[in-house]
């Protein structure tokens, strides 16, 4: 696909998309079950839930942080009994980070709370707006993965 060209219409659409996604993201971050966790800690738990167990180095790459920062985040999560470190199956020098049952329960509660909040918001849309948003959801997910 060719690169998106800069036109007044495209620039305006990108600006609206950026602004809307950022504001919605900020509001969603406030819909947490456990206020004691930082956004970085929640993000790591979410990555573990989506991608499965990983080494701290793999997590650092996925989260776009430096390895020492990830080491600190993992230590904080371990101290809160939200992750456990296990021996790497192939490399005894490394550890694998795995979420605990407590973390999985907390993430599920958080998902339920955020989904309920989004459902309430979506209920304020008309049918055409809701249909447009439903169609856009896979595209937004794709953008988030790029």
The pLDDT assigned to 89 comes to: 86
The pLDDT assigned to 103 comes to: 94
The pLDDT assigned to 1 comes to: 60
pLDDT of 31-80, one tens digit each? 777 778 888 998 999 999 999 999 999 999 999 999 999 999 999 999 99
pLDDT of 99-116, one tens digit each? 999 999 999 998 899 999
Q: How confident is the model at residue 146 (pLDDT cuts 50, 70, 90)?
A: confident
**What number does CATH give the domain 9-145?**
1.10.10.10
Of all residues in the chain, the percent with pLDDT exceeding 70 is 99
Domain residue extents for the chain:
9-145
Q: How confident is the model at residue 121 (pLDDT cuts 50, 70, 90)?
A: very high
Residue 66 and residue 60 in contact, taking contact as beta carbons nearer than 8 Å: yes
Longest CA span, the chain = 56
């Amino acid at each position: 696909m060719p690169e998106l060209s800069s036109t007044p219409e495209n620039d305006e659409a990108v600006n609206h998309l950026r602004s809307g996604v950022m504001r919605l993201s900020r509001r969603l971050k406030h819909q947490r079950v456990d206020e004691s966790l930082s956004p970085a800690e929640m993000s790591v738990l979410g990555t573990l839930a989506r991608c499965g167990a990983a080494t701290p180095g793999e997590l650092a790459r996925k989260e776009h942080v430096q390895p020492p920062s990830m080491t600190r985040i993992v230590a904080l999560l371990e101290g809160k009994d939200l992750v456990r470190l296990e021996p790497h199956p192939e490399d005894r020098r490394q550890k694998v980070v795995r979420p605990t049952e407590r973390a999985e329960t907390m993430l599920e509660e958080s998902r339920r709370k955020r989904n309920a909040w989004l459902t309430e918001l979506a209920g304020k849309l008309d049918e055409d707006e809701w249909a447009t948003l439903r169609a856009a959801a896979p595209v937004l997910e794709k953008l988030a993965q790029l």
